Structure 1
Amino acid sequence: MKNKGTHFLVQGAAIAAVYVVLTLVFAPLSFGEVQIRFSEALTVLPFFTPAAIPGLFVGCIIANLLGGAIPVDIIFGSIATLIGAFFTYKLRNTGKWTAPIPPIVSNIVIVPLVLRYGYGINLPIPFMMLTVGAGEFISAGVIGMILLGALSKYKNVLFHKKAAV
């Protein structure tokens, strides 16, 4: 790889673009107090490359902007994805089964607060933690792990381990 910076940028941009497309294609399921954001399956990608961290963050910001989210959601919803991606990267050496845990936890903690205090949804926060957590478990925990398993076969071709953060 001649230019690691370019490779890092291209990987991050591609991940951001896929995140945006998946979020908007499945928009009716991507937003609200009961949501399954299929794009969150991509939050396992920091297991392979640190370029996924900014890619997921930027992708979430753009998806939330284009999806009509309020500023609080654009900021804190995207921070939830950023935190999840960052800790997935940090836990990458503990085994693949830990990859979806950080995005699930960060979204369970942050998104219900955004729904309550940003959107004024008057449901109990523990209930929204359960619904957001269930959606995140489906997207990151199930679909994300299927994606991780499929990409593991091609990790040396798709993700060069030499890319630096």
Structure 2
Amino acid sequence: MKNKNITYMTQAAMIAAIYVVITYVGAAFSFGEVQVRISEALTILPVFTPAAVPGLFVGCLIGNILGGAILPDIIFGSLATLIGAFFTWKLRNQNRILAPLPPIIANIIVVPFVLRYGYGVTLPIPFMMLTVGIGEVISCGILGLILAYALDKYKHIVFQNA
């Protein structure tokens, strides 16, 4: 049991660290009304391990802080990632194509309101839902599914004891 807890915490910490690094490296296009946060591709990981749920949340939280986000973005943007990761985990035994939908939907709903009321972006909310949604489809949908396909070959090694 102790080994399983250590594995869980180690996986969560590694996922958080990878999310932070990718967000920080891609900061130029990870924030704003038109954003493609490449690190959101990692939201597919709850399909492989439940440790990804807290890992993604902590990674997003730290990534937002280091990226210079304002407090509402730090809180609500990170909660959107947590909600998306949790529901991806709930869908883990369903059709793999559905796995990216929770983070896409959570971010489409949350991020435009953060942009409007936190950052004062005056674009119409439906337009920002579209632009955020396109970025999420690219990162979670396309890149996330590519990542899932690549990890399927190695899941018995990478996510053992998960």
TM-score by length of 2: 0.98
SS in 2 for 1:92: coil
Which letter maps to 2:146? Answer: I
- Partner Cα distance (2:3, 2:11) in 1: 13
Deviation by residue 1:57-83 (Cα, 9 ceiling, x = unmatched) = 000000000000000000000000000
Deviation by residue 1:86-145 (Cα, 9 ceiling, x = unmatched) = 000001111211110000000000000100011110000000000000000000000000
- Partner Cα distance (1:120, 1:2) in 2: 48
**CA positional deviation for 1:2:** 6.2
Q: Do structure 1's residue 152 and structure 2's residue 152 form an aligned pair?
A: yes
- Partner Cα distance (2:98, 2:16) in 1: 22
Which letter maps to 1:74? Answer: I
* Correspondence for 2:86: 86
* Correspondence for 1:141: 141
Alignment of 1:109-124 (within 5 A): 109-124=109-124
Q: What are the ranges of 5 or more consecutive residues in structure 2 without an aligned counterpart? A: none
**CA positional deviation for 1:156:** 1.1
- Partner Cα distance (1:2, 1:54) in 2: 18
* Correspondence for 1:131: 131
How well do the aligned residues superpose, as a CA RMSD in angstroms? Answer: 1.0
TM-score by length of 1: 0.96
SS in 2 for 1:23: helix
After TM superposition, the runs of 4+ consecutive aligned structure 1 residues lying more than 6 A away are none
Q: Do structure 1's residue 44 and structure 2's residue 66 form an aligned pair?
A: no
SS in 2 for 1:97: helix
* Correspondence for 2:104: 104
- Partner Cα distance (2:132, 2:80) in 1: 12
Which letter maps to 1:37? Answer: R
**CA positional deviation for 1:8:** 0.3
Alignment of 1:5-16 (within 5 A): 5-16=5-16
Q: Do structure 1's residue 4 and structure 2's residue 7 form an aligned pair?
A: no
* Correspondence for 1:72: 72
Q: What are the ranges of 5 or more consecutive residues in structure 1 without an aligned counterpart? A: none
